[in-house]
A and B are shown apart, each in its own frame.
Chain A
Amino acid sequence: MSTTEAGPRGSAPVLAAAAPATAKARRRMGRSGGLGHVANSAYPHWFYLPAGIIFGVIFLAPTALSFYYSLTRWTLFTTEFIGLDNFFQFFREPALTSGARNTIVYAVVTSGLKVVLGLLLATLFTSRLRLRGLLRSIVFFPVLVSTVAVGITFAVLMHPSNGLINQSLGALGIDGPNWLTNPSYALLSVALVDVWKGVGIALVIFIAGIVSIPEEYFDAARLEGGAWVKFRHVILPLSRNATFTVILLSFIGGLRSFDLIWTMTRGGPGFSTDVIASTIYKQYQAGFYGLATAGNVLLFIAVTLIVFPMIRYFNSHEVDL
């Protein structure tokens, strides 16, 4: 289910733009929508069929099947129905506890830094800055690069003695840390790279949010005081919709994160950067297909339980400009 598709951050901007809009649309549908409405549609229902088949075959069927396989001992060659054993086994997994903790830490750190940095950079890049077009491009550029390429590159840069980062620090007389091989730093090092790579999306969303704030508020802020007033009392409260979108997207991304961690550390050293997704992936690698599927079912449920209330909360606290 989710592990292998954890990659395409590239699609995030589209999602970001769509998220608030669909939320509103859904509420509207709730009132006026419904089958009666569809029945009056100008097009026959079977126009839905092609999309329905594709969705059913590619999404619904595998999802339903994975619920079944999570209840079996599956070797690819044979399946044996074993009830909920896989779920009990998965909860006994020693890496799961640290993996769950690492997942939360990773999601909170990346999501938090992206919000703070994204908002600050967006504030900066919406002001009258000479090179702001260029600077925006530079910050957004890493979003366009493949995550795997970023991971491999930074793994080389962060090598404790041959890496460019520690050699540069060494030239300044600083003894750089073992970024990826010290169990205490490894997860944070990967999280920093994730922020570097992903802050561009937060930036774009924040810029869109700030630009859509009506000019009168800024005029009022100018009369009231300086840049601080503008930031504290105009940009911060009125870009709340953008903030929610960024938090939501980066938090979900953090919970599902896999590709960057896997290319940089493979969950190591030991189990110190294992997150839930990489723990599940390792079960697949080891040939425990039923167990891994059970892990994915659990991840699916966990993400749903965390994210659904977040969406509801954010939707009920949207500000109208």
Chain B
Amino acid sequence: MSIRATRLGSLAAVTTLVAACSGGFGGASSATAPTEAPSAAVPSEAASPSTAEAPVTLNWYVDDNNVTQARLQGLIDAYTKLHPNVTISIETHPGGTDGDNLVKTRLSTGDMPDLFYYNSGSLLQALNPADTLVDLKDQPFVANLQESYLPTVTAPNGAIVGVPTEGSLGGGILYNMTIYSDLGLSVPKTWAEFEANNQKIKDAGKAAPVCGTFADTWTSQLFVLADYYNVQVANPTFAADYTANKAHYADTPAAQTGFAHLQEAFDKGWWQKDFGADKFEVGQQKLAEGKCGHYPMLTFAVGTIVENYPDAKDKIGFFGQPGTDAATNGATIWMPAATYIPKTTTGAQLDAAKAFVNFIGTVDGCNAMTAGVAPSGPYVVKGCTLPDDVPQAIKDIQPYIDGGNNSPALEFLSPIKGPSLENITTAVGSGQTKADDAAKQYDQDVEKQAKQLGLPGW
């Protein structure tokens, strides 16, 4: 699927779902009886936190990634200090597709804890958010969010269902700056320059030009997904046309380029020797230790790299995946995962949960997350800033944000993300499938997903 944030760790959003009381948003009144007692708390869910003193416990369903948990713990520590009557406990689930299925199952059986953290964008759309999640549109925090973020947490019926609970992420190429300075390379603005850099790294013989970690198949998708900025430069209406079944990967040359890059990487021997057997952690290690020049990845990986290899903090940089023209160089951005409240959360729990999500969507919330763990990219809450001591790769994202030469990844602009992409990209990157066949396969995969979502035009 789309880059599985869950598996990646920080991407996975766990929404805290405070089940909505039957407070009807169209959907069937919550089938499963909420466990909570009927509202003991004041119904006013305004920003003013429930100072009612009555002790409340909230359960927050999150993925088991270390970085995610450190960040959420930062929020919990800050919030419970302000509101000693509130206790927030974390319940974890595995990342990746297993986690997706657990979240779906618990939502559909009415068994979801009070809040959960989960991806925004296309993965959220698969949760049937209009019927399962509490609409937070009238909550004060919504006014604090950047406009560009709202579509990624909006249900088809217009309900805004989530609050961003991490920074945004850059999706592109992480590179080893020591190798770059040793070989006198400069950051490539076009794919041709990137090819030339790879050739020089290969000729130098000390490092593989590019790290591939296909044992964690999701990591193989980056060349395709992170190329979306370049796709929309060439085809500005691609996302809408693709959602409406009017544009496809196989018949859009710019969209097919990502698959061609994977094929090129295999054909030219850019990967390291064990690319088929190495996992995500090994890729991070090889990049930090200078055994790979580049690693196509999301910047959430930087947090783990710096944690395990503190020296790498200022030696790993980031650049957007280059396209054909230096003049339009830019980067693809992944939107933050969010916290959601399921409609099965009611009463005092719902009030407390709403108060908590209102805390998350403020500058104080950003600071609490930063206190938990270094952010992976700029926050989407207005007024939030990155601390000065963030790693170099995170600093490298900022110019793309400030310059406006960025685009959200396709999965945040369209509800459709084919689930087999990671297998298809692995097959291309290991020389089993050619780029044009892969694009056709992926179009079929996309069609299945669109039909499953019941989109018009498919």
- The residues of A with any CB-CB pair to B shorter than 8 Å are 73, 75-78, 80, 89, 92, 94-95, 159-161, 178, 180-183, 266-272, 282, 284-288, 291
New A-B contacts (10) at CB < 8 Å, excluding given A95-B423, A181-B274, A182-B276: A73-B452, A89-B451, A95-B420, A181-B215, A268-B426, A269-B427, A269-B432, A271-B423, A286-B419, A287-B104
A286/B449 in contact, CB under 8 A:
yes
Which B residues are in CB contact (< 8 Å) with A161?
273-274, 277
**In the complex, what residue of chain A is closest to B440 when comparing beta carbons?**
A94
Among B107, B128, B419, B424, contact of A270 (Cβ-Cβ < 8 Å): B424
Contact B126 A287 (CB under 8 A): yes
Contact at A270–B426, with CB atoms within 8 Å? yes
In the complex, 6 of the A-B residue pairs with CB atoms within 8 angstroms, ordered by the A residue number, are A159-B277, A160-B273, A178-B276, A270-B428, A272-B432, A287-B126
A270 touches B433 (CB 8 A): yes
- Shortest C-beta distance, B280 to chain A (Å), equals 14
CA distance A58 to B136 in the complex (A): 41
Chain B window 413-456, contacts with chain A (Cβ cutoff 8 Å), 1 for yes, 0 for no: 00000011001101110101100000001001000110110100
Instruction: List 4 A-B pairs, minimum CB-CB distance, nearest first.
Output: A270-B427, A181-B276, A286-B419, A285-B97
Which A residues touch B132, using CB under 8 A? 77
Are B449 and A77 within 8 A (Cβ)? Answer: no
- B190: interface (CB < 8 Å): no
Give the chain A neighbours of B44 by CB distance below 8 A: none
Cα distance A94–B439 in the bound complex, in angstroms: 13
B108, A76: Cβ atoms closer than 8 Å: yes
A175 to chain B, nearest CB (A): 12
| In contact, A269 and B426 (Cβ under 8 angstroms) | yes
Contacts of A270 in B (CB 8 A): 423-424, 426-428, 430, 432-433
Neighbouring B residues of A183 by C-beta, 8 Å? 430, 432
The answer to whether residues A77 and B128 also contact, given A269-B214, A271-B427, A284-B101 and a CB cut-off of 8 A, is yes
Residue of A nearest to B428 (CB): A270
Q: Are A286 and B430 in contact, with the CB atoms below 8 A?
A: no
Do B420 and A286 have beta carbons less than 8 Å apart? Answer: yes
Q: Chain A residues near B428 (CB, 8 Å)?
A: 270
Q: Do residues B444 and A94 form an inter-chain contact, with CB atoms below 8 A?
A: yes
Minimum C-beta distance from B427 to chain A (A): 3
Contact of B105 with A by CB under 8 A: yes
Cβ of A291 and Cβ of B448 under 8 Å apart?
yes
Select the residue from A159, A183, A270 with max chain B CB neighbours within 10 A: A270
Partner of A282, one of B419, B427, B444: B419
The listed residue (B1, B108, B276) touching A269 by CB distance below 8 A is B276
Q: Which residue of A is nearest B128, CB measured?
A: A77
Query: Which residues of B have CB within 8 Å of A287?
Result: 100-101, 104, 126, 419, 452
B453 nearest in chain A by CB position? A75
Q: Are B1 and A286 in contact (CB under 8 A)?
A: yes
Q: Does B131 contact A (CB under 8 A)?
A: yes
A159 engages B419 (CB within 8 Å):
no
Q: How far is the CA of A77 from the CA of B129 in the complex (A)?
A: 10
Does B217 count as interface, using CB distance less than 8 angstroms?
yes
Contact assessment for A181 and B448 in the assembled complex, using a CB-CB cutoff below 8 Å: no
Q: How far is the CB of B68 from chain A (nearest CB, A)?
A: 21
User: What residues on A are CB-neighbors of B419 within 8 Å?
Assistant: 282, 285-288
Known contacts A161-B274, A181-B277, A269-B276, A89 near B128 by CB under 8 Å: no
For A73, give the chain B residue with the smallest CB separation: B452
How many angstroms from the CA of A206 to the CA of B389 in the assembled complex? 69
A74 CB, min distance to chain B CBs, angstroms: 9
